[in-house]
């Protein structure tokens, strides 16, 4: 469960991490009053659960309350990567001397957490990590011992961060552990010209298995219905939006993760992670296709199913029935393997939908989906 930035900041404050004063609103008119309370000059930030807000025009500086109202009016209602902007946060600007990046993320494969930090934070951290990986420190963290002051000092030194950031690293770890988080991230963590260390932005992902302990964050999600993730969650689907063009549907998290890798190896970018689980019946397939096709960035869809408890002919029947419910507007590549795969392929052959293709291997199907996406 991802939190909005203002929710992440609330957690940071509760754990002693300093953030600039800010308020949230869904009204452009109220934004003017908030700006007046905050001193006039403010940063107006779209509140959506996705990255890239700044490059999309969802983060702007307003010089005075009147400009804050106008800017909020421009940002409210924007669509950022499929996420409609329902609220904005107005924050006091700070005099920045340096920007850093810090995060903790769960490393499932290694059975531990990973501290990731860099002295070159900000909007271009992805480019820094790709072009100069040596500028980003990755330090394993044993969950049994956690992040002590000594551990935090080692992380800061490895990343080239100022020594005073070690206290923030300890407190971020406390957020991770005490709030059932799988990811905590601050980008940027800044040092002001007065020497203060502040978190200007925050991203927190909570463990879905701990929702019963984190009920206070559920109400806003239900009220706003933010993007395809909310639509998928309402249908009981495990969906994560990504920045690509090939929609991915599979049964089983491991298979879907492998599918993402294979599609990427073919030179395309996955548009999402969507695990429909073991029971890929007609309604589940219809819901899955509906969510994936609602993403305007998707130019082809790859359905990758391995029949086990649910046989491939039942899956194929679900796809055919789903096509009676969902208007297919993008090419759909299907790969069926496992239990009753031959029967499933025959079901789709009889359907003879002009936008549905079958490929028998995962590599071949991924290549075809990537090709269709590139030529769309």
Residue 239: active-site member: no
Residue 23: active-site member: no
Please provide the DSSP assignment of 338-365 as one string.
ETTHHHHHHHHHHH--TTEEE-SSHHHH
Give the span between the Cα atoms of 338 and 320, in whole angstroms.
19
Question: Which phi and psi (to 5°) does residue 199 adopt?
Answer: -95, 110
- The single residue of 185, 229, 239, 245 carrying the catalytic annotation is 185
Beta bridge partners of 22: 91
CA 233 to chain centre: 14
- 179 contacts 206 by C-beta, under 8 angstroms: yes
Question: Which phi and psi (to 5°) does residue 305 adopt?
Answer: -130, 130
Count CB-CB contacts under 10 A for residue 274: 27
- The single residue of 10, 99, 101, 179 carrying the catalytic annotation is 101
Sign of CA dihedral 123, 126, 132, 136: positive
Beta bridge partners of 101: 118
Q: Is 192 helix (H, G, I), strand (E, B) or coil?
A: strand
Place of tokens 């961060």: 161
Give the span between the Cα atoms of 10 and 227, in whole angstroms.
22
Instruction: Please identify every residue annotated as catalytic.
Output: 101, 185
């Amino acid at each position: 469960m991802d939190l909005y930035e203002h929710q992440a900041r609330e957690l940071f404050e509760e754990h002693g991490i300093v953030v600039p004063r800010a308020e949230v609103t869904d009204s452009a008119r109220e934004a003017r009053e908030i700006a007046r309370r905050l001193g006039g000059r403010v940063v107006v930030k779209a509140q959506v659960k996705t990255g890239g807000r700044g490059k999309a025009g969802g983060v702007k500086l307003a010089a005075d309350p009147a400009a804050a109202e106008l800017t909020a009016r421009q940002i409210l209602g924007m669509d950022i990567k499929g996420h409609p902007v329902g609220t904005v946060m107005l924050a006091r600007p700070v005099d920045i001397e340096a920007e850093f990046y810090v995060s903790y993320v769960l490393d499932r494969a290694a059975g531990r957490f990973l501290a990731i930090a860099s002295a070159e934070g900000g909007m271009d951290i992805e480019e820094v990590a790709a072009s100069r990986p040596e500028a980003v420190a990755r330090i394993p963290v044993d969950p049994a011992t956690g992040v002590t002051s000594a551990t935090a000092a080692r992380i800061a030194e490895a990343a080239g961060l100022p020594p005073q950031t070690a206290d923030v690293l300890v407190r971020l770890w406390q957020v991770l552990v005490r709030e059932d988080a799988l990811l905590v991230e601050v980008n940027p963590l800044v040092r002001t010209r007065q020497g203060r260390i502040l978190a200007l932005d925050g991203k927190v992902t909570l463990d879905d298995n701990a929702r019963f302990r984190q009920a206070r964050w559920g109400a806003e999600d239900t009220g706003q219905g933010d993007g395809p993730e909310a639509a998928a969650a309402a249908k009981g689907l495990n969906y994560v939006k990504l920045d690509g063009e090939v929609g991915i549907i599979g049964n089983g998290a491991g298979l879907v993760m492998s599918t993402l890798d294979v599609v990427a190896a073919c030179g395309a970018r996955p548009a999402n992670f969507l695990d429909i689980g073991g029971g890929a019946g007609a309604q589940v397939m219809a819901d899955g296709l509906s969510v994936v096709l609602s993403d305007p960035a998707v130019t082809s869809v790859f359905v990758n199913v391995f029949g086990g408890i649910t046989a491939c002919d039942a899956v194929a029947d679900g796809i055919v029935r789903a096509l009676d419910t969902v208007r297919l507007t993008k090419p759909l590549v299907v790969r069926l393997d496992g239990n009753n795969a031959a029967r499933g392929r025959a079901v789709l052959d009889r359907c003879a939908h002009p936008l549905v293709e079958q490929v028998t291997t995962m590599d071949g199907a991924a290549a075809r989906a990537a090709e269709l996406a590139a030529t769309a």
